[in-house]
């Protein structure tokens, strides 16, 4: 059973970056919720946790400690950028393991592809930084910076469909990295149209008068009804 730890950047008394009527902590919460929902709906063979369920304040050390104590198999920290730039970038630690780099590669491609369905998005690349949550975690770990809150990127960040697509892309990337099994698809019971007619029995009655009464009611509603 694979363990996935999702870190919603900022929260509580720390809103993160704020601009254009948006708060980073709110956006990261939404993206991660979309990711966890998508994983739960489409994959099996895993369990997942989040650093905060709602709007709690957490230190960087607390986030890493939670993932380490749980012995997570993967750690993904979700953020929104600031600084009036544009585009998407994803980080690993400067001394990243080959597994972290592999996770970075698959998430980079999956997320950027999803973003570009909404228009041109700048690829700021795969980067390295000595961020605490990447330095202190003991499992493959990445940190995503999903566009800029204080630039024209904000038009995407205000689009709920965009946030949903980005969250689901995070989920697919993690699923690919971990090799999660897809849930079996439920087969439709409806037969394809083949020109045949299929009869549906409404009821059976020991008293013919009751049968005739129901047949009349069905006929009044436009349904063909016969008594056999």
Place of tokens 């380490």: 68
Query: What was the pLDDT predicted at 200?
Result: 56
CA angle (216 as vertex; 213, 218 as ends), nearest 5: 110
Query: What was the pLDDT predicted at 221?
Result: 63
- Give percent helix, percent strand, percent coil of the chain, each to the nearest 5: 40, 20, 40
Place of tokens 């304040």: 57
Strands 141-148 and 74-81: parallel
Name residues of the chain where pLDDT drops below 50. Answer: none
Domains and CATH numbers, the chain: 2-182 (3.40.630.40), 190-228 (no CATH)
pLDDT in tens, 128-182: 999 999 999 999 999 999 999 999 999 999 999 999 999 999 999 999 999 999 9
Q: Could you confirm whether 53 is annotated as catalytic?
A: no
Integer angstrom CA distances of residue 174 from 74, 82, 177: 8, 25, 5
Which helix (H) or strand (E) segment holds residue 10: the answer is none
Task: Specify whether the CB–CB gap between 29 and 8 falls below 8 A.
Answer: yes
Give the C-alpha separation, 124 to 121, whole Å: 9
Query: What was the pLDDT predicted at 210?
Result: 66
Catalytic entry in 145, 168, 216, 217: 145
Q: What would the two tokens of residue 177 be?
A: 């990295």
Give the C-alpha separation, 94 to 191, whole Å: 56
Query: What was the pLDDT predicted at 185?
Result: 81
Query: What was the pLDDT predicted at 65?
Result: 98
Q: What pTM, to 2 d.p., does this model score?
A: 0.82
- Residue 222 main-chain phi, psi, to 5 deg: 95, 10
């Amino acid at each position: 059973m694979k363990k996935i730890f999702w870190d919603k950047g900022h929260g509580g008394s720390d809103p993160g970056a704020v601009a254009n009527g948006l708060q980073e902590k709110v956006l990261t919460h939404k993206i991660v919720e979309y990711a966890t929902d998508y994983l739960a709906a489409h994959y099996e063979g895993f369990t997942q946790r989040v650093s905060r369920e709602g709007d709690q304040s957490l230190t960087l050390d607390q986030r890493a400690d939670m993932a380490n104590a749980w012995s997570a198999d993967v750690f993904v920290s979700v953020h929104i950028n600031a600084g009036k730039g544009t585009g998407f970038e994803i980080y690993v630690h400067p001394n990243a393991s080959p597994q972290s780099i592999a996770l970075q590669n698959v998430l980079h491609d999956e997320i950027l592809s999803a973003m570009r369905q909404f228009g041109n998005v700048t690829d700021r690349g795969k980067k390295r930084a000595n961020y605490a949550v990447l330095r202190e975690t003991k499992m493959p770990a990445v940190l995503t910076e999903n566009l800029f809150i204080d630039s024209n990127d904000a038009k995407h960040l205000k689009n709920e469909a965009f946030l949903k697509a980005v969250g689901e892309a995070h989920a697919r990337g993690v699923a690919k990295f971990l090799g999660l099994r897809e849930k079996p698809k439920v087969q439709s019971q409806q037969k394809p149209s083949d020109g045949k007619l299929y009869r549906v029995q409404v009821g059976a009655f020991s008293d013919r008068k009751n049968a005739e009464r129901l047949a009349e009611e069905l006929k009044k509603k436009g349904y063909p009804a016969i008594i056999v």
